[in-house]
RNA sequence: GGGCGGUUAGCUCAGUUGGUAGAGCGCUCGAUUUACACUCGAAGGGUCGUGGGUUCAAGUCCCUCACCGCCCACCA
């Protein structure tokens, strides 16, 4: 017997060596599995794309859970004989990465990005991204992830950039991408637009003011933002409201509203609730999306009064260049003095803030690029993107686990508005549109003729990640990989990016290649700390995966994340759990030691009545686990094998063997099967034990028991 | 305002299609120079949040309420 069995299992001394052995074997590539005869060339494919971690930072416990689940499924399917492919990659995460580098630049060199200029700044960002990529690759490997690194992708590399430009052009040519002057969510701190999904609502105390524009104006209105009222061009009332009906169609000229002249037209609109407030709404077309919609219906003019720095842009000296918060007070005070203020009430309101910077969102009218989600698409039977996204889950059979998220998904689609995809940041895919003399061209490659200037803006980072399932497989080129591995079998990710990412992938895939991107979506929950708190920097309760791996071993980290963590449920990470599974790895180690020890003594093999019973029982364990993993009930399968190995095999069967109630052949059989069954969950310790008794054989490339 | 999830042993949580409650940790008692102290055995501990309903049978299905948590939504 190998001497190392005389000591407790030492993960630290094992894992790196085992991973290198796996990498050298090439078995993580399905092509090599076929070449070596482990996988049948005509076997069914099974593919997963790794949700690309952001190059912003390092992997956290949530990513470790993701890797543990995916690697378990991938190893299982590989052992089942499928042509199994798991593609790694990274996401450039445009805004997140750029703002992080901006912060570093500010802190370390006291410079702003404008001091460097676009090119030099981007070089810094790329260097930062590159150094993180290397560290994250180490982390992926440390956990044992059986990823095919020969196919590694990056959202910003040449192939993926080509995919982005191709997708953009195709959507532009079919009229799905358009440029429009619309009210968008402006982040005054980040100085960029953001999409509806990047808004976070924060509950804050506010005031609602009820007032009239002037003493001879017949209708009072209410607002939480008096400063925007200098941009009002209308008042909307419900057409059936007898109090106000008579004014509909009239225009009132207000000579002096806090120093600004207003022209207010009364319009009738069904969206106004006569019961709420004064039953009338002041319409500010430039600074509210809902108002913009009312204004569009009634042809009210748009008057922008707030600029990109969240400062007033009216000529009135008292207001000009004032911050919105100051302007609010100035106007409120003016209303009080003029005797126009009817009521002021404290309320709690949800204000929209930018997810990244925390700044209060300022809705502004701007010329931006959008994806039209409602337009009927000729090449897709006249269906809209919304409809395509809907039918992917409704009809095409994408299964979302847990299934309650299907409802959430449908609800999101129903409320979806056109997606603003242009961003005023530097890091990311430049919009593939060029301008010259008032002319515009959308091309995959820059026009060769002189004088064409490319659009300054970049694309929302989710545009490129939306292409991920097929851009990683070579699209727009019609590759063999694309044909074989798309649609992918499984998309496993956190429920928090269902809208950001999962829905966008369905949109892109259904439109661009006419098929669903994946058959099953498995959404995992949040990994919290031992007290159930969200892990965050401000709480300082971050658990570093690499440290935990060093302390307890990757197998223990994986098991502690997997056991008992069902789809969609948040879970808690604790050192007790990690310790328990470290003990389990060692228990297994000693069980192997016991069996090997006895094997060396050439035990007589006398069949006993118990042999058959135990082998039958094991068969049913195998079949239960197979069903569980195929249905992605990893939390049940992992618990089942844990319990069987420790409390049946070790506590009962081995003990009975000592008493001669079980034959050695059966004991040996059970150990071998257990190693296989445990391998997807705890790849390192099982492989290490396997290699000790099976020279020239790799457990990773061994068939799952039947 | 709308939707969703949770409420099961002291703690943390499982419980897949309804068949008279499970695990880990902790606690108590005990074993043992043992493959393994990163061990083993035993014991204790739950009217499965509340109230009702369906059923031969409900933690599991339906309804009510309560508390905790999450998501969505620019009632001005």
Between the CA of A632 and the C1' of B59, what is the distance in angstroms? 23
Between the CA of A205 and the C1' of B70, what is the distance in angstroms? 22
What are phi and psi for residue A166, nearest 5 degrees?
-65, -45
Give me the A residues in range 91-120 that sit within 7 A (CB) of strand B.
none
- Is the preceding peptide bond at A609 cis, omega within 30 degrees of 0? no
**Rg of chain A over all Cα atoms, to the nearest angstrom:** 31
Report pLDDT digits (tens) over A43-72. Answer: 999 999 999 999 987 888 889 999 999 999
The pTM of this model reads 0.95
Between the CA of A525 and the C1' of B67, what is the distance in angstroms? 23
A475-484: long-range contacts, CB 8 A cutoff, minimum separation 24: A475/A163, A475/A166, A475/A512, A475/A513, A476/A162, A476/A163, A476/A166, A481/A85, A481/A151, A484/A45, A484/A83
Cβ contact A415 with chain B strand, < 7 A: yes
Cβ contact A130 with chain B strand, < 7 A: no
Give me the A residues in range 20-59 that sit within 7 A (CB) of strand B.
none
Q: Write down the pLDDT at residue A55.
A: 92
| C1'-nearest nucleotide to the CA of A9 | B38
Between the CA of A417 and the C1' of B71, what is the distance in angstroms? 18
| C1'-nearest nucleotide to the CA of A279 | B76
Cβ contact A277 with chain B strand, < 7 A: yes
Q: Write down the pLDDT at residue A249.
A: 94
- The helix or strand, by DSSP H or E, that contains position A194, with its residue range, turns out to be strand A192-194
- Is the preceding peptide bond at A476 cis, omega within 30 degrees of 0? yes
Bridge pairing between strands A221-223 and A362-371: unpaired
Cβ contact A582 with chain B strand, < 7 A: yes
Cβ contact A13 with chain B strand, < 7 A: no
CA A483 vs. chain centroid, Å, equals 25
A382 within 8 A of A374, measured Cβ to Cβ: no
How far apart CA A672 and CA A687 sit, in angstroms, is: 11
Closest CA to A148 of A50, A43, A21: A50
- Residues with Cβ within 8 Å of A375's Cβ and at least 6 positions away in sequence, in order, are A175, A176, A384, A385
Inter-CA distances, A594 with A5, A599, A671, Å: 9, 9, 11
Between the CA of A404 and the C1' of B63, what is the distance in angstroms? 20
| Strands ordered across the beta sheet of A221-223 | A221-223, A199-211, A341-354
DSSP code, position A534: B
Cβ contact A283 with chain B strand, < 7 A: no
Bridge pairing between strands A89-90 and A153-154: parallel
Give me the A residues in range 618-637 that sit within 7 A (CB) of strand B.
627-628, 631, 633, 635-636
A151 within 8 A of A456, measured Cβ to Cβ: no
Give me the A residues in range 322-361 that sit within 7 A (CB) of strand B.
349-350, 352
Between the CA of A561 and the C1' of B57, what is the distance in angstroms? 36
SS (H, E, C) A264-327: EEEEECCCCCCCCCCCEEEECCCCCHHHHHHHHHHCCCCCCCECCCCEECCCCCCCCCCEHHHH
Cβ contact A239 with chain B strand, < 7 A: no
Q: Write down the pLDDT at residue A695.
A: 84
| C1'-nearest nucleotide to the CA of A574 | B12
Inter-CA distances, A400 with A281, A498, A563, A568, Å: 41, 10, 21, 10
Inter-CA distances, A66 with A39, A519, A558, Å: 26, 18, 10
SS (H, E, C) A52-100: CCECCCCCCHHHHHHHHHHHHHHHHHHHCCCEEEEECEEECCHHHHHHH
SS (H, E, C) A204-221: EEEEEEEECCCCCCCCCE
Q: Write down the pLDDT at residue A339.
A: 95
Between the CA of A495 and the C1' of B11, what is the distance in angstroms? 27
Q: Write down the pLDDT at residue A567.
A: 87
Between the CA of A533 and the C1' of B67, what is the distance in angstroms? 19
Between the CA of A696 and the C1' of B32, what is the distance in angstroms? 39
Give me the A residues in range 198-227 that sit within 7 A (CB) of strand B.
199, 201, 208, 221-225
Cβ contact A647 with chain B strand, < 7 A: yes
A366 within 8 A of A193, measured Cβ to Cβ: yes
Give me the A residues in range 289-318 that sit within 7 A (CB) of strand B.
289-292
SS3 A193: strand
Cβ contact A586 with chain B strand, < 7 A: yes
How far apart CA A99 and CA A538 sit, in angstroms, is: 18
Cβ contact A603 with chain B strand, < 7 A: no
How far apart CA A347 and CA A335 sit, in angstroms, is: 19
Residue A309 burial class via C-beta count within 10 angstroms: exposed 0-12, middle 13-18, buried 19 and up? middle
What are phi and psi for residue A176, nearest 5 degrees?
-85, -25
The segments of chain A whose pLDDT lies below 50 read: none
A360 within 8 A of A406, measured Cβ to Cβ: no
Closest CA to A388 of A291, A301, A511: A511
Covered bases, chain B (protein CB within 7 Å): 3-5, 12-16, 23-25, 35-36, 38-41, 71-76
Report pLDDT digits (tens) over A266-316. Answer: 999 998 988 888 999 999 999 999 999 999 999 999 999 999 999 999 999
- The helix or strand, by DSSP H or E, that contains position A21, with its residue range, turns out to be helix A11-25
A253 within 8 A of A261, measured Cβ to Cβ: yes
A561 within 8 A of A19, measured Cβ to Cβ: no
How far apart CA A419 and CA A580 sit, in angstroms, is: 47
Cβ contact A270 with chain B strand, < 7 A: no
Cβ contact A14 with chain B strand, < 7 A: no
How far apart CA A62 and CA A571 sit, in angstroms, is: 10
Between the CA of A407 and the C1' of B65, what is the distance in angstroms? 25
How far apart CA A518 and CA A506 sit, in angstroms, is: 8
Question: Does ipTM surpass 0.85 in this model?
Answer: yes
Q: Write down the pLDDT at residue A424.
A: 96
**CA trace torsion A483, A489, A492, A497 (10° rounding):** 60
């Amino acid at each position: 017997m190998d001497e190392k069995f005389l000591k407790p299992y030492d993960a630290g001394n094992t894992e790196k060596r085992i991973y290198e052995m796996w990498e050298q074997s090439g078995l993580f590539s399905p092509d090599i599995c076929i070449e070596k005869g482990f996988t049948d060339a005509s076997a069914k494919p099974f593919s997963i794309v790794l949700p690309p971690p952001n190059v912003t930072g390092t992997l956290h416990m949530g990513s470790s859970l993701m890797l543990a689940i995916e690697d378990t499924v991938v190893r299982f399917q590989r052992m089942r004989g499928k042509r199994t492919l798991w593609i790694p990659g990274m996401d450039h995460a445009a805004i997140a990465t750029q703002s992080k580098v901006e912060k570093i630049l500010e802190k370390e060199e006291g410079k702003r990005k404008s001091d460097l200029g676009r090119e030099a700044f981007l070089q810094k960002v790329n260097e930062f991204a590159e150094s993180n990529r290397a560290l994250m690759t180490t982390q992926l490997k440390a956990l044992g992830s059986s990823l095919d690194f020969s196919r590694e992708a990056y959202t910003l590399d040449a192939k993926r950039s080509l995919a982005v430009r191709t997708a953009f052009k195709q959507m532009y040519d079919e009229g799905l991408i358009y440029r429009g002057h619309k009210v968008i969510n402006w982040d005054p701190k980040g100085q960029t637009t953001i999409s509806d999904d990047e808004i976070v609502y924060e509950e804050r105390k506010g005031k609602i003011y009820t007032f009239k524009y002037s003493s001879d104006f017949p209708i009072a209105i209410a607002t939480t933002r008096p400063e925007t009222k200098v941009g009002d061009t209308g008042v909307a009332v419900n057409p059936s409201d007898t109090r106000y009906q008579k004014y509909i169609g009239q225009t009132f000229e207000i000579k002096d509203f806090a120093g600004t002249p207003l022209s207010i037209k009364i319009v009738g609109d069904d969206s106004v609730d006569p019961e709420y407030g004064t039953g009338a709404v002041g319409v500010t077309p430039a600074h509210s999306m809902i108002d913009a919609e009312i204004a569009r219906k009634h042809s009210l003019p748009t008057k922008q009064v707030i600029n990109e720095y969240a400062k007033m842009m009216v000529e009135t000296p008292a207001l000009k260049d004032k911050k919105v918060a100051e302007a609010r007070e100035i106007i409120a005070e003016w209303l009080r003095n003029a005797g126009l203020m009817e009521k002021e009430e404290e309320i709690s309101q949800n204000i929209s803030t930018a997810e990244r910077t925390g700044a209060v969102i300022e809705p502004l009218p701007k010329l931006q690029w959008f994806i039209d989600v409602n337009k009927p698409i000729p090449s897709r039977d006249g269906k809209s993107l919304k409809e395509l996204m809907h039918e992917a889950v409704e009809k095409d059979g994408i299964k979302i686990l847990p299934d309650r998220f299907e409802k959430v998904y449908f609800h999101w689609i129903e409320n979806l508005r056109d997606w603003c995809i242009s961003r005023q940041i530097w890091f990311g895919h430049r919009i593939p549109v060029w301008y010259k003399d008032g002319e515009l061209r959308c091309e995959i490659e820059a026009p060769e003729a002189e004088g064409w200037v490319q659009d300054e803006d970049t694309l929302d980072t989710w545009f490129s990640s939306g292409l991920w399932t097929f851009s990683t497989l070579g699209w727009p080129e019609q590759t063999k990989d694309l044909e074989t591995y798309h649609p992918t079998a499984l998309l496993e990710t956190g429920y928090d990016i269902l809208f950001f990412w999962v829905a966008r992938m369905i949109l892109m895939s259904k439109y661009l290649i006419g098929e669903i991107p994946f058959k099953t979506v498995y959404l995992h929950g949040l990994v919290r700390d031992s007290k159930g708190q969200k892990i965050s920097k401000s709480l300082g309760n971050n658990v570093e995966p690499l440290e935990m791996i060093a302390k307890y071993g990757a197998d223990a980290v994986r098991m502690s994340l997997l056991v008992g963590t069902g789809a969609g449920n948040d879970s808690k990470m604790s050192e007790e759990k990690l310790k328990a599974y470290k003990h389990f790895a060692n228990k297994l180690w000693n069980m192997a030691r016991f069996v090997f020890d006895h094997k060396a003594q050439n035990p007589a093999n006398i069949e006993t009545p118990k042999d058959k019973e135990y082998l039958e029982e094991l068969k049913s364990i195998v079949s239960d686990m197979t069903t569980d993993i195929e249905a992605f009930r990893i939390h049940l399968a992992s618990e089942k094998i844990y319990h069987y190995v420790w409390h049946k095999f070790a506590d009962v069967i081995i003990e009975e063997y000592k008493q001669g109630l079980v034959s050695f052949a059966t004991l040996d059989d059970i150990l071998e099967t257990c190693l296989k069954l445990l391998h997807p969950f705890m790849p390192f310790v099982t492989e290490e034990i396997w290699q000790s008794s099976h020279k020239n054989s790799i457990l990773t490339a061994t068939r799952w028991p039947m």
